[in-house]
Amino acid sequence: MKRHLVSAADLSRDDALLILDTAEELAQLSGRAVKKLPTLRGRTVVNLFFEDSTRTKTSFEVAEKRLSADVINFAAKGSSVSKGESLKDTALTLQAMGADAVVIRHHASGAPARLAQSDWLHGSVINAGDGTHEHPTQALLDAFTMRRHLNPGLGNDLSGRRITIVGDVLHSRVARSNVLLLKTLGAQVTFVAPPTLLPIGIDSWPCEVSYDLDATLAKTDALMMLRVQRERMNAAFFPTEREYSRRYGMHGGRLARLPQHAIVMHPGPMVRGMEITAEVADSPRCTAVEQVANGVSIRMAVLYLLLGGATLADTPSTNQSEAAK
């Protein structure tokens, strides 16, 4: 594994499977009396959130606390408009506080990459979502959920599984991370969206593209609905909410046309009535809640694998003592 997790592209197939398998083991913890491991005692993890995200932040925080890390929540107020304290100064502050890892959510694409490459801080950087770029732990928990349903078992990948991702691909960091990771794990990805919500250059991505949701349903093992923000409507990406829902929304009729084994996924928060009806969202085939639970296991696995062993912060011991027996 690399020292940082900035992009799903940072993960080799072995890395990804190691994370999924580790998460599978750690998932047991939630059934135990003491849901805590001492592994990251003395490690300091900073949750640096420049953008509000209760769900992702809570998920990381639970994961960090279950591993006994010292958790610092650093809510960096400020938008792309108001400058305030710079990313650099914030990073230098965290470095001075001795952060072993920084979990960063930022509205600007590339901010975690900047942190990881800079000499502003020395700890691991974990991307918790940057702008419209990537959200690698979301992709990992999605893959974890898919594997449990479509190809369960340690060491298994997703080869040959057909994943359809529907919605605002253009602005989706979830879509970007997913296509990279799913490709690494051998799945076949199809994006379905109106042409206005697909990025220029998508023809070079490792995926198929369709404008027709109904045509892809029968060939789908997992259907992932992306959130569509209502403000996109004002920017002429599509004419009306109603038309979007009709053409690209998931409803009971479409659910019935999915193969029996297929699941419906949503990274949340769902816009019910827009991209997904309540009937689908609340159906047992929708894994949205399960995804949230899996998120904790995945984030524990990532934190353990990045921070649990020797890190740069530790004085490297030249004479590594044999595993004590």
Partner 1 sequence: MSTYLIRNAQLLGGPAQDILIDGGVIRQIGAGLTAEAEVEIDATGLIALPGLVDLHTHLREPGREDAETVLTGTQAAAKGGYTAVHAMANTFPVADTAGVVEQVWRLGKESGYCDVQPVGAVTVGLEGKKLAELGAMHESAAGVRVFSDDGKCVDDAVIMRRALEYVKAFDGVVAQHAQEPRLTEGAQMNEGRVSGELGLGGWPAVAEEAIIARDVLLAAHVGSRLHVCHVSTAGSVEIIRWAKAKGWDVTAEVTPHHLLLTDELVRSYDPVYKVNPPLRTAEDVHALRKALADGTIDAVATDHAPHPAEDKDCEWAVAAMGMVGLETALSVVQQAMVDTGLLNWEGVADRMSHRPARIGRLVGHGRPVSVGEPANLVLFDPAYRGTVNPDSFATRSRNTPYRGLDLPGRVHATFLRGVATVLAGELVAPEELA
Partner 2 sequence: MTTQNELPRPPHQVLDGADITRVITRIAHEIVERAKGAEDVVLLGIHTRGVHLARRLHARLTQITGREIPLGTLDITMYRDDLRLKPARALEHTDIPADGIDGRLVILVDDVLFSGRTVRAALDALGDIGRPRAVQLAVLVDRGHRELPIRADYVGKNLPTSLREAVQVRLADTDGQDAVLVGDRDHAAPSRSARHDSSSQALAADPIHPE
Which amino acid appears at position 238 of this protein?
F
Interface pattern 100-129 for partner 2 (x via CB under 8 A) = -------------x--xx-------x----
| Residue 202 lies near partner 2 (rule: CB under 8 A) | no
Q: Does 314 participate in binding partner 2 (rule CB under 8 A)?
A: yes
- The answer to whether residue 92 forms part of the interface with partner 2 (CB under 8 A) is no
Q: What is the DSSP letter of 9?
A: G
Q: How far apart are CA 92 and CA 74, in angstroms?
A: 13
Beta bridge partner(s), residue 162: 188
29 binds partner 1 (CB under 8 A): no
Using alpha carbons, select from 120, 140, 104, 94 the residue that is nearest to residue 1: 140
* Interface pick for partner 2 out of 15, 39, 55, 149 (rule CB under 8 A): 39
Binders of partner 1 among residues 118 to 177 (CB under 8 A) are: 130-134, 173, 176
Q: Which does 98 bind (CB under 5 to 8 A by kind): partner 2, partner 1, none?
A: none
Tell me the closest approach of the beta carbon of residue 176 to partner 2, in angstroms: 16
Q: 282-289 long-range CB contacts below 8 Å, 24 or more apart?
A: 283/255, 285/255, 285/258, 287/145, 287/149, 287/263
Should residue 38 be labelled a site residue for partner 2 when binding is judged by CB under 8 A? yes
DSSP 8-state code for residue 286? B
**What is the residue whose two structure tokens read 């001075």?**
96
Q: Which of 13, 35, 36, 88 binds partner 1 (CB under 8 A)?
A: 88
Asked if 86 touches partner 1 (CB under 8 A), the answer is: yes
Nearest to 21 by CA among 305, 250, 249: 305
Positions 98 through 117 that interact with partner 1 (CB under 8 A): 106-111, 113-114, 117
For residues 323 and 108, give the distance between their C-alpha atoms in angstroms, rounded to a whole number.
43
**CA atoms of 236 and 94, how far apart (whole Å):** 41
Per CB under 8 A, residues contacting partner 2 are: 1-6, 10, 18, 21-22, 25-26, 28, 32-34, 36-39, 113, 116-117, 125, 304-312, 314, 316-317, 320-325
